[in-house]
Chains A and B, each alone.
Chain A
Amino acid sequence: MDAVYSIIPAGVLSQVFVGLSRTTILFIVASGLTLILGVLRIPNVAHGSLYMIGAFTAFTVTKLFGGGSAGFWLALIIAPLVVALIGLIAERGMFQFLYEREHLMLLLLTFAFSLIFGDLVKLVWGGEYKSVPVPHIFQGFVPLFGDLPFPLYNLFLLIAGPVVAILLWLLTNKTKMGKIARAAAVDREMVGAVGINVSRVFAIVFVIGCFLAGLGGVLVAPTVSVTLGMDHNLIIEAFLIVIMGGLGNIWGALLGALIFGLTQSLGILIWPQFGIIFPYLAVVVVLLFRPTGLLKSTW
């Protein structure tokens, strides 16, 4: 490793890996957002709320099963499903009637949903901070680069990110459903004209998008305090990532999340006092040169 450190210092490598683990959460949430945006054309502001509900559900499930590791792994399965169910109800009960409306109208509607969800979370879980413990096997840290400690849970995130990306790739490219969804994103009337039940495809895509928001919520829960307001912080970042990557493009979301995560962690290394501005500067630079996003937008 010493040879590597002579080219890239351990501190920089460590920041890159930390940035990549943050990228995982951002990518999972943003991919759900962009999927819904690309196929259903809904700019879902409530996506952040679903992420928050995922985190709160993870807290409840973990608590129910004794607050230990087993609870967390169960939460990893149950919480995204709960969020997906909420998504299904919202789509069948509301959004399926509104696909023809203008985007502004949908934006306002989903914004209203984000406020309603926020209040519902407060009613159900209360206003106190909640905390989900890191599962036992990922507690602690390893000296990954030199003597700089790297949290084990972040290593787990580094594995989870690519797994989700591969599953999404298989889903969109290798399944019939994925192919229909991609076709519907380009021309929904044509897809309907060849006898495909577009409404059902839309419902499935919406549910998958919500599932991803919930999954992001569970994965982030052990690293933060689960609290009201975590939705608003994330949704802004997720939208910027989606816009930077190209609306509706999952790989754009991946690229955007990578840029966002890495500029943040490396920005902190260069100028810790003003570390927060680097991801936003990156967004400005990208949009200056590629106003429609880095990759092909489906809009």
Chain B
Amino acid sequence: MGTINSATALAISDFAKKEKIPFFVTFSKSDKIIGEKGHRYIFNMNENTAMAGKAAAVALAKKPYEKFWIAGDDYEYGHAIADSLWNNLKKLKPQVQKVGESWWKVGEADFTPYITQILAAKPDFIIVATGGSGMVNFQKAAKATGLSQKIPFYQHTAIELSTLKPQEQNAPEGVFGTANYFFYYPDTPSNRAFVDEFKKVYNREPRIGAFYGYMTARFIAEGYKKAGKIDTEGLIKALEGMSLDSPVGPLAIRGCDHQLELPMYFGVTKKDPKYNFLVAGDVQAIQAKDYMPTCEEVLKARK
């Protein structure tokens, strides 16, 4: 299990397929992992670019914005997430129009020139497809230029702890984002229990990676228990369709493509007196069935 970089995930996946070893992807976001390059031995335990883009499109289609600007990191992740969001949004709300696009290099330090240019173009809404350190960089520049007060924008994972905590009270308010997990939401006994136990061991709040890792380990353990022996084919059969309780409610592994069916949370950054950093507010849960590609779509991509 593991990998953050999607290229690494695809390389290991290829090896796993040849050697018939189950491989659980826990952070890589390319939709090729489970789609085009998917196979029997791969399990995707996190969301991917196609899913995140579609979830955001579902939520944004209900908002009044029509003139969109698309901006992002000029590499696969950026383009994949922006394409998925835009294509789904156009289907759900045909009257949306694209005013323009800007693409910067991965690791771009200074977003100010890009933002001042977008401000001058006056779109209703900006889709920002950044990843990694670009998340924080863009939010800081959005705050410094006043962008966050003038034009609303969306970034996948904008509302996640790893993006908001480093900025403490200085993160911009009103940024839309999507994420699979928060330690403070949903405020259920099972999530609270997970957070408490995690804090005891690591002395900090669990972030999204901890949640993916924890669920993956539990699925592997329960899978072997159900199979009754240490056996690859038995494990795969046991996991297909298996459902476990999790901090965010029951989660199942879809049988057809081995994708974990996660709810996606759409929310907006806001201050909360309980914490010294911004959190996600107005959270709405988008259920897996509403934003996951269908089995037919995934299996078609594999051919």
Chain A residues with CB under 8 Å of chain B are 10-11, 14-15, 18-19, 21-22, 25, 67, 128-131, 133-134, 139-141, 148-154, 220, 222-225, 227, 229-230, 232-234, 264-265, 268-269, 272-276
Interface pair B109/A14, CB less than 8 Å apart: no
Contacts of A151 in B (CB 8 A): 112, 141, 144-146
Contacts of B137 in A (CB 8 A): 223-225
Who on chain B is nearest to A280 by CB? B105
Which one of B74, B103, B109, B170 contacts A134 once the chains associate, using CB atoms below 8 Å? B170
Interface pair B136/A129, CB less than 8 Å apart: yes
B contact face: mostly helix, strand, loop, or mixed: helix
Between A and B, 12 residue pairs with Cβ closer than 8 Å are: A14-B120, A141-B144, A148-B116, A149-B116, A223-B137, A225-B136, A229-B133, A230-B107, A233-B105, A233-B107, A268-B117, A274-B103
Contacts of B117 in A (CB 8 A): 11, 15, 268-269, 272
Interface pair B166/A264, CB less than 8 Å apart: no
A contact face: mostly helix, strand, loop, or mixed: helix
- Counting chain B CB atoms within 10 Å of each CB, which of A11, A19, A128, A131 scores highest? A131
Q: Does B184 contact A (CB under 8 A)?
A: no
Which one of B114, B136, B141, B163 contacts A268 once the chains associate, using CB atoms below 8 Å? B114
Q: How large is the interface on B (under 10, 10 to 19, 20 to 34, 35 or more residues)?
A: 35 or more
Interface pair B102/A224, CB less than 8 Å apart: no
What CA separation (Å) do A22 and B137 show in the bound complex?
14
What CA separation (Å) do A157 and B117 show in the bound complex?
19
Contacts of B113 in A (CB 8 A): 15, 18-19, 22, 264-265, 268, 275
Contacts of A276 in B (CB 8 A): 74, 103-105, 108
CB proximity of A134 to chain B, nearest CB, Å = 6
Interface pair A153/B144, CB less than 8 Å apart: yes
Total CB contacts across the A-B interface at under 8 A: 132
Interface pair A154/B166, CB less than 8 Å apart: no
CB proximity of B148 to chain A, nearest CB, Å = 11
Which one of B103, B109, B133 contacts A234 once the chains associate, using CB atoms below 8 Å? B109
7 additional A-B residue pairs with CB within 8 Å, beyond A133-B167, A223-B140, A273-B100: A22-B112, A67-B168, A129-B166, A149-B119, A149-B146, A223-B112, A275-B102
Who on chain B is nearest to A149 by CB? B146
Contacts of A225 in B (CB 8 A): 133, 135-137, 140, 166
Contacts of A15 in B (CB 8 A): 113, 116-117
What CA separation (Å) do A133 and B170 show in the bound complex?
7
Chain B residues with CB under 8 Å of chain A are 71, 74, 100-105, 107-110, 112-114, 116-120, 133, 135-137, 140-141, 144-147, 150, 162-163, 166-168, 170
Who on chain A is nearest to B109 by CB? A224
Take A227-B133, A268-B117 as given contacts and tell me if A21 and B112 are in contact as well, using a CB distance cutoff of 8 Å: yes
What CA separation (Å) do A22 and B166 show in the bound complex?
23
What CA separation (Å) do A236 and B150 show in the bound complex?
34
- Counting chain A CB atoms within 10 Å of each CB, which of B104, B110, B114 scores highest? B110
Contacts of A224 in B (CB 8 A): 109-110, 133, 136-137, 140
- Counting chain B CB atoms within 10 Å of each CB, which of A129, A133, A152, A234 scores highest? A129
Who on chain A is nearest to B70 by CB? A273
Which one of A128, A227, A230, A268 contacts B102 once the chains associate, using CB atoms below 8 Å? A268
What CA separation (Å) do A19 and B168 show in the bound complex?
28
Interface pair B166/A131, CB less than 8 Å apart: yes
Interface pair B112/A18, CB less than 8 Å apart: yes
Which one of A130, A131, A220, A229 contacts B170 once the chains associate, using CB atoms below 8 Å? A131
What CA separation (Å) do A153 and B114 show in the bound complex?
16
Contacts of A18 in B (CB 8 A): 112-113, 116
